[in-house]
Amino acid sequence: MNLSIENILLIGSLLLFISIIVGKTSYKFGVPTLLLFLAIGMLAGTDGIGGINFDNNKIAQFIGIVSLNFILFSGGLDTDWSSVKPILKEGLVLSTLGVLLTALTLGTFVWLITDFTIYESLLLGSIVSSTDAAAVFSILRSKSLALKSNLRPTLEMESGSNDPMAYVLTIAFLSLVINQDQSIVSIILLFLQQMIVGGITGFLFGKLSKIIINKIKLDFEGLYPVLVIALMFVTFSVTDFLGGNGFLAIYICAVYLGNQDLIHKKTILRMYDGLAWLMQIVLFLTLGLLVFPTQVIPLIGIGMLISVFLILVARPMSIFISLAFFKMKVRRRLYISWVGLRGAVPIVFATYPLIAGIDKANMIFNIVFFISVTSILIQGTTLSVFAKWLHVALPQKVKPISETDRFLTNMAKTAMKELVILPDSNAVNKKIVDISFPKEAIIAMIKRDNKYLTPNGSTIIKPNDVLLILSDNQKGIDKINDCLCD
């Protein structure tokens, strides 16, 4: 079946509906939802029962890049800086040195057991060198794993920030495959440019985005998530235009925004959570349609050998070397090694050799696809088991609550206070979002001129307003005077 304007919406909506329904029950059988999405795409493809003929690598790559924008941005918004800050050094080392070591180790192994050239081998190693943000975010959060010693923020930060390194390595070794006379020095300079420009522009666009979101006055609350989407794509595109890494930029931008006071932040976070799931489904369905299972089957032997080496040797070796200078228990390092999930990102990166038209592009793509499937199937289904076996799991009753989780859930407040805003208060004529209100407290209602208002971040405090304040504890109440009554 060929896709056309007439049937693309029907087919797309049916695949989306089937994916959601099947995914709803997948965890009852211990199967990661993302793998189900991929399988549905394969069944609907040319070699499957659907017979949909989809082989446009450029469209697949475009869908992949757009989807990764949403997935990384959503993951960044949901990252609690207070939990990331203690493990920032470990996360940065894992997302740079760890990725490099994985690429070199696996690339060398591929070179020794195949007829690939050294640059082709290192290209394959680079493509699968990073953990997949979509897989890690979705599996960890859907399983609600409670982990000890900042393990979860370490894993989420690594997966959210290591794609840029893998992308740079992929582009670098692809360039060497195409032009083997290219200098290694130029590759190093490319890496530095991508990382430095990406990091700086990501932070600057984060600060600029906060100002725009809080200062612009939109008539409809639903337009604020749309505004953030526009800012996200502007961040990615401008960074790429300047020669930086767009993936790194949007992740840093999102982490910054997620830890700031924003107007309609609750609406933005919920919108992005839904969009991230939509993009994950669309991405895996698209990649499932793109692959030809009949071409993967002959490569199962070599694919399994490479996959096992990646899971049991390359990934653990890179983790233990990268974290050698940090104080960390062995079982914690072992668990980080095991959560080296590969998913959609390597498959998206594998489309670059296809578009470039190098000799072994199809073989690389199919091996990468097999590695991603086996990683999700083997590692993704055993995260909870390994967490318990290595004693790194927390009991559910003591699971820590992040600031974002606290913000999104309607938690019971234990303290309440009515506060009258005096004319000389520093909060007068300021938006709620601009007065550094304590995170553990909320303004539930405002009484103004004998009328009751339900406030949001853009609500301006007026003289003689009566604020009904709810807080998690008395400490939150005690902080109110600092921002409202000084």
Q: What are 13-64's pLDDT values in tens digits?
A: 777 777 677 655 555 444 566 677 777 888 877 777 777 777 788 888 898 8
Using an 8 Å Cβ cutoff, are 162 and 408 in contact?
no
Q: Is the model more confident about 279 or about 137?
A: 279
φ, ψ dihedrals at 175, nearest 5°: -65, -40
pLDDT recorded at residue 30: 46
Q: Which amino acid is at 194?
A: Q
- Tens digits of residue pLDDT in 417-451: 777 877 878 778 888 777 767 666 777 788 888 78
Segment of 26-30, 288-292, 365-369, 424-428 carrying the highest mean pLDDT: 365-369
Does the pLDDT at position 144 exceed 60?
no
- Listed in sequence order, the residues at least 6 apart from 313 whose beta carbon sits closer than 8 Å to its beta carbon are 105, 109
Provide the pLDDT confidence category of residue 93 given band limits of 50, 70 and 90: very high
pLDDT recorded at residue 445: 82
What average pLDDT does this structure show over 301-327? 93
Record the tokens describing residue 101, joined without a space: 């070591």
Q: Which long-range contacts (CB under 8 A, 24 or more apart) does 177-185 make?
A: 177/117, 177/119, 177/120, 177/123, 177/353, 177/358, 178/356, 178/358, 180/119
CA 201 vs CA 70, 96, 243, 250, 363: distances in Å: 18, 19, 11, 9, 36
pTM for the complete prediction? 0.77
- Tens digits of residue pLDDT in 108-122: 999 999 999 999 999
Q: Is the model more confident about 36 or about 130?
A: 130
| Domains detected in the chain | 5-398 (1.20.1530.20), 412-484 (3.30.70.1450)
What average pLDDT does this structure show over 65-91? 85
pLDDT recorded at residue 5: 59
pLDDT recorded at residue 146: 67
Does the pLDDT at position 361 exceed 60?
yes
Q: Is the model more confident about 463 or about 415?
A: 463
